[in-house]
Structure 1
């Protein structure tokens, strides 16, 4: 069964390598941030897969922290790309 986990981890690493190429050569900023998000997700998947293969529960904690950091990075990117004055305080959000 651990061989299956290692094969899955290798497949995820190939996906991460392809996403790194896209992040490096991406035509636009949005393509690059999406590739960076894919890299983060792939690394989290590798950490969880290898943690399951080794029976190491501490990898779950590291993967959860990485998940929160990846979500925070995308939220910061979206906030930085919003046009100035797009929404003022007190306006209707609907």
Structure 2
């Protein structure tokens, strides 16, 4: 798990009050919804707000791609990196 993935995993834990977990307990490729971590749509909204605030990025609420970006910690990290790169250029 790279530093960004670990930071995002910790952000998930802190934002959603998953006190019984540590960042290392969430593998980068583990699904965040359904049978994976078990997050729901309300969790996704809270997480999106936290990601926007922490990383100063924009997440379009009507984006069909949002679901795939929120699939795993690894996909969220890739999305954050892409958003940062787009803002830097």
Higher-Rg structure is 1
Question: What's the TM-score, normalizing by structure 2?
Answer: 0.30
Q: Which has the higher helix share?
A: 1
Flag the structure with more relative contact order, 1 or 2, with Cα contacts below 8 A and sequence separation at least 6. Answer: 2
